């Protein structure tokens, strides 16, 4: 394996071996060679395959683990990250109760339809205007009280067969369903937060009054290769909950 990148134009004329190996592993992850939750080959086996030393493969895996694509477990192996496990289920949910109570959130499906992408949705999902999309609306409730109203848009071609029945029957984190049933893995997401006033319709659904300040969370979730695969807009009641963040 060449350490140089002879075709490199512009800046990255040099790509270290461990980054090339990282790219190759990422390709295999993207292609679904190893399913979420399963182990990838051991470091020594990968080293042999790529004709590199353990340390070099190790550095590639380190970066993938830092990006939450892989999970290392000493003595057991290195596993493909998944949204299905207890510990990693709500990786992207930053909602917390002010009193620190647990996360026994109840889900209630309000709406699910297949429709066509408008201009904004198409642009953000990198689709063409009029492409099929799935539109979902749901509530999250904490001890019976509505806390979040989510509106979700998904590319129709990626989520064939997703409908109200399918969603209603499944009870668990959405990203776990997407991963298991549609092979779509959410890797990272960008969010934009704002404060907005509830309109009458939203207020009714959230059990509050029109004009109540709500935290608006616009999310764009991406899969391998930074391909956008979900838009989500959450409206959060924040009288007894908040959005927590860590700055570093």
Partner DNA sequence: AAGTGGTCTAGACCACCTG
Partner DNA sequence: AGGTGGTCTAGACCACTTA
Q: Residue from 68, 115, 126, 130 that binds a second copy (CB under 8 A)?
A: 68
Piece in contact with a second copy (CB under 8 A), picked from 13-21, 45-53, 61-69, 152-160: 61-69
| Residue 227 near a second copy by CB under 8 A | no
- Measured distance CA(151)–CA(173) in Å, rounded: 15
Closer by beta carbon to a second copy, 45 or else 190: 190
CA 75 to chain centre: 28
- Measured distance CA(171)–CA(101) in Å, rounded: 21
Buried b (16+ CB within 10 A) or exposed e, 68-83: ebbbeeeeeebbbbbb
| Residue 31 near DNA by CB under 7 A | no
| Residue 124 near a second copy by CB under 8 A | no
Piece in contact with DNA (CB under 7 A), picked from 70-78, 86-94, 104-112, 113-121: 70-78
| Residue 191 near a second copy by CB under 8 A | yes
Measured in Å, how far apart are the chain's first and last C-alpha atoms? 36
Among DNA, a second copy, none, partner that 196 touches (CB below 5 to 8 angstroms by kind): a second copy
Q: Residue from 16, 67, 129, 207 that binds DNA (CB under 7 A)?
A: 16
Piece in contact with a second copy (CB under 8 A), picked from 103-111, 126-134, 143-151, 185-193: 185-193
| Residue 38 near DNA by CB under 7 A | no
| Residue 9 near DNA by CB under 7 A | no
| Residue 181 near DNA by CB under 7 A | no
Closer by beta carbon to DNA, 18 or else 178: 18
Map tokens 């959450």 to a residue: 234
| Count of CB atoms situated within 10 Å of the CB of 232 | 19
- Measured distance CA(2)–CA(50) in Å, rounded: 11
Q: Residue from 23, 32, 38, 53 that binds DNA (CB under 7 A)?
A: 53
Residues in the chain: 248
The answer for residues whose C-beta is within 8 angstroms of residue 99's C-beta and 6 or more apart is 240
- Measured distance CA(46)–CA(60) in Å, rounded: 11
Inter-residue contact 218 to 232 (CB < 8 Å): yes
The site for a second copy (CB under 8 A) is made up of: 66-68, 91-92, 94, 96, 187-197, 211, 213-216, 219, 236, 238, 242-248
């Amino acid at each position: 394996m060449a350490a140089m990148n002879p075709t490199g134009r512009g800046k990255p004329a040099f790509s270290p071996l461990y980054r090339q190996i990282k790219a190759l592993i990422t390709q295999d992850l993207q292609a679904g060679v190893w399913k979420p939750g399963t182990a990838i080959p051991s470091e020594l086996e990968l080293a042999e395959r790529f004709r590199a030393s353990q340390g070099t493969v190790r550095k590639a895996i380190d970066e993938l683990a830092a990006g939450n694509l892989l999970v290392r477990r000493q003595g057991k192996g290195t596993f493909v990250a998944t949204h299905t496990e207890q510990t990693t289920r709500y990786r992207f949910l930053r909602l917390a109760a002010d009193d620190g109570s647990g996360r026994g959130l109840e889900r209630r499906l309000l709406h699910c339809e297949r429709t066509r992408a408008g201009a904004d949705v198409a642009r953000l999902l990198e689709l063409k205007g009029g492409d099929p999309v799935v539109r979902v609306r749901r509530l999250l409730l904490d001890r019976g009280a509505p806390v979040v109203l989510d509106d979700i848009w998904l590319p129709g071609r990626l989520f064939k067969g997703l409908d109200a029945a399918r969603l209603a029957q499944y009870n668990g984190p959405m990203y776990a369903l997407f991963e298991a049933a549609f092979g779509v893995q959410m890797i990272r997401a960008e969010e934009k937060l704002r404060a907005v006033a509830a309109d009458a319709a939203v207020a009714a659904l959230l059990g509050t009054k029109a004009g109540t300040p709500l935290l608006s969370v616009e999310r764009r979730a991406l899969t391998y290769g930074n391909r956008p695969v979900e838009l989500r807009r959450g409206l959060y009641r924040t009288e007894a909950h908040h959005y927590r963040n860590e700055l570093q």
